[in-house]
Amino acid sequence: MPDSLLLRTHARHVRGRFAYASARRAFPGDAAQLRQLRRWLSGLLPDAPARYDAIMVAVELATNAVKHTASGRGGIFTVEITWHAELAALRIAVSDGGAPPRSRACASPEALGENGRGLQVVRALAARSGAYGGRCGGLTWADIPWSEFASWNGRGGIAGGVGA
């Protein structure tokens, strides 16, 4: 498998404005791929205030997939970025290779510990978030407030726009 695989890009216009735009990409379940994810999103998302929140959230969700699921043991994780005009939000969804049933949230991270705060950061930045799945696969998602995109560049990127 190449370093990553672009699976799909799509955009839809209604009355000359974007109503929906999405891109999906699969990555090998390796921590080194988190840098590739960050690079892909940096090229995909327009320069806007919410861009940096979206990248941070996507990398955190992907990090959890690599660290805590079968994705990180020779599998893959897939990231889908979808902007919805009706929601005025950018949805970040990360699918993983699954894990034994357990809580996907850390109730109380240790005060000086290095782990356990990622999903708290996601919840602080997202308008909505959620997770579901089990042994065969899981999906974790978050909606980042984002007002609109100006255009979709034909190479699978979203160009221009205003972040919330």
Q: Residue 146 — pLDDT band, cuts 50, 70, 90? A: confident
> In this structure, are residues 46 and 68 in contact, taking their beta carbons and an 8 Å threshold?
no
Q: What is the pLDDT of residue 47?
A: 81
pLDDT band for 32, please (50, 70, 90 cuts). Answer: very high
Q: Is 38 or 15 the better-scoring residue by pLDDT?
A: 38
Split at pLDDT 50, 70, 90, the class of 10 is low
Count Cα neighbours of 46 within 13 Å in the Cβ-side half-sphere: 19
Residues 6+ apart with CB under 8 A from 85: 14, 17, 18, 19, 20, 148
Q: How far apart, in Å, are the Cα atoms of 24 and each of 6, 36, 100, 128, 134?
A: 6, 14, 25, 20, 22
Joined tokens for residue 45: 């998302």
* Residue 58 near residue 25 (C-beta atoms within 8 A): no
Kindly state the average pLDDT of the residues 117-123: 85
Q: What percent of the chain has pLDDT over 90?
A: 47
More confident residue, 150 or 118: 118
CATH node for 5-162: 3.30.565.10
The residue whose two tokens read 């991270």 is 109
pLDDT of residue 86: 78
Q: Where are the domains of the chain?
A: 5-162
For residue 159, the model assigns a pLDDT of 45
Picking from 91, 75, 78, the residue whose alpha carbon sits closest to that of residue 8 is 78
Residue 4, SS3 per DSSP: coil
Position 162 scores a pLDDT of 38
Express each pLDDT in 74-104 by its tens digit.
999 999 999 887 778 899 999 999 987 655 4
Quote the pTM value.
0.78
Name every residue whose Cβ is closer than 8 Å to that of residue 72 and which is 6 or more positions away in sequence: 29, 30, 31, 65, 66, 97
Q: How far, in Å, CA of 149 to CA of 20, rounded?
A: 9
